[in-house]
Amino acid sequence: MFAIKAGRAFDGEHLIAGGAAVVIDQGRILDLRPAAAPLPPACEVAEFPHATVLPGLIDTHVHLGGDGRDGALGRLAGYPDDELAEVIDAALRRHLAAGVTTVRDLGDRRWSVVLRRDRAASGDVGAPVPTILASGPPITSVRGHCWQMGGEAQSGAALRAAIRERAERRVDVVKVMASGGVLTAGTDVMSCQFSDDDLQLLVDEAHAAGLPVTAHAHGLPAVEQAVEAGVDGIEHCNCVTPAGAHIHDSLLQRLAERDVAVCPTILARSTEVRPPATVLAFTQRFGLTPEAAQAHVARMHRAGTRIVTGTDGGIATAKPHGILHAAVSGLVASGVCADQALAAATSIAAQVCGVGSRKGRLRAGYDADLLLVDGDPLSDIGALGRPAAVLAGGRWAAGPSAAERACFGQP
């Protein structure tokens, strides 16, 4: 048993004034109490008086098999298994160092991340790693977006078989490519990849198997199709049309009423990193300037859409692993209040990912996944990019020195 004391705390929903102490035992939060409250006898304490403690962050959209350089998805299919395993492990380390203690992988090559998830769950982990949630290969049309990952399926029998396999492998979510993608040649972001009937079948079969569905959708037709089919989430949700991005009031209402989780995957970008040429062409074609993208997110947020944070991490130099803080900053730049943006990366993300009963909050009984940052992210969201310490399952992943960790019985 040990405790973390910090000058401020964000519990997943609200700021706790006056600081807090998080008491940890056997990898779980035993208690959350005011910083001045007495602690259990013989409880070691790590003090962070100038820091804020908050739940470990959750990146709801990553590609752990992507090496974080331009052309990553194209290279993914050619990686030997041992090299791909190294790429995945390096990605996990980068996320954890940045305070991301749970990742949801939305597209691997032939079950590589699902297998890594299962290995971690078996206890064969060594150093701490983020909790892995995984979809396996995204279901896509023949030669559709990300077909190289091995998830091609078209028509009833193939779609039913695809869902059966995912249920047998116990995926955490089904990912479907409802529209074409920017990074797959020969696909069109404005085109739906499945018929209405086929997408409806896929969603119905997944729900019957107890699996949620999230849909990659750029074009407005694919977003509308996905909402009508009853998906649980939409990735990107740019709602582009030949005249630019546009989301009409009735669609906003349906997104909110049906509680569809939207992950816009926008980042507060550094001007030093230039997106790939195909991405630049996409944004220019549809007028998706940073300001336009932020206005689009702001409109969804004001309408009551449930928004979560995700980076699409690993797919390009502009979107490497471990930059969820930039996605949270992107929400704040879109007009989302800092506490709501932090909730989108903690408690709300946990609910959307199906782990809301054990992650995303500072609450007794929850996993001791913690991030401590220098400063106050509620007044300066940039503080989220300054991690002082990270714990995953009650184990130090970053922060105190080896000597200090030894006081807590950890290497």
Question: What gap in Å lies between CA 193 and CA 295, rounded to an integer?
Answer: 27
Mean pLDDT of the 194-204 span: 98
Closest CA to 252 of 177, 306, 202: 306
Domain count, the chain: 2
The CA-based dihedral angle spanning residues 211, 212, 216, 220, taken in that order and rounded to the nearest 10 degrees: 130
Cβ atoms of 245 and 286 within 8 Å: the answer is yes
DSSP 101: E
Q: What is the mean pLDDT of the chain?
A: 94
The DSSP bridge partners found for residue 373 are: 52, 387
Same domain, 218 and 367: no
Say if residue 137 is exposed, middle or buried (CB neighbours under 10 Å; 0-12, 13-18, 19+): buried
Task: Select from 352, 372, 394 the last residue of a domain.
Answer: 352
pLDDT tens-digit map of 256-275:
999 999 999 999 865 567 88
Q: Is 411 within a domain?
A: no
Mean pLDDT of the 164-192 span: 97
Q: Is 261 within a domain?
A: yes
Same domain, 306 and 262: yes
Q: Is 73 within a domain?
A: yes
Question: What gap in Å lies between CA 93 and CA 392, rounded to an integer?
Answer: 12
Cβ atoms of 313 and 95 within 8 Å: the answer is yes
HSE-up (13 A, CA, CB side) for residue 215: 33
CATH of the domain at 8: 2.30.40.10
Q: Is 68 within a domain?
A: yes
Tokens 């890594």 correspond to 116
- Supply the range of the domain harboring residue 17: 2-55+361-406
pLDDT over threshold 80, residue 155: yes
The CA-based dihedral angle spanning residues 383, 348, 138, 202, taken in that order and rounded to the nearest 10 degrees: -160
pLDDT tens-digit map of 204-250:
999 999 999 999 999 999 999 999 999 999 999 999 998 888 899 99
> How much is the pLDDT for 398?
81
In the chain, the amino acid numbered 280 is: L
Cβ atoms of 362 and 54 within 8 Å: the answer is yes
The DSSP bridge partners found for residue 244 are: 241
Q: Is pTM beyond 0.85 here?
A: yes
pLDDT tens-digit map of 5-36:
999 999 999 999 889 999 999 999 999 999 99
> How much is the pLDDT for 399?
72
Same domain, 257 and 390: no
Q: Is 308 within a domain?
A: yes
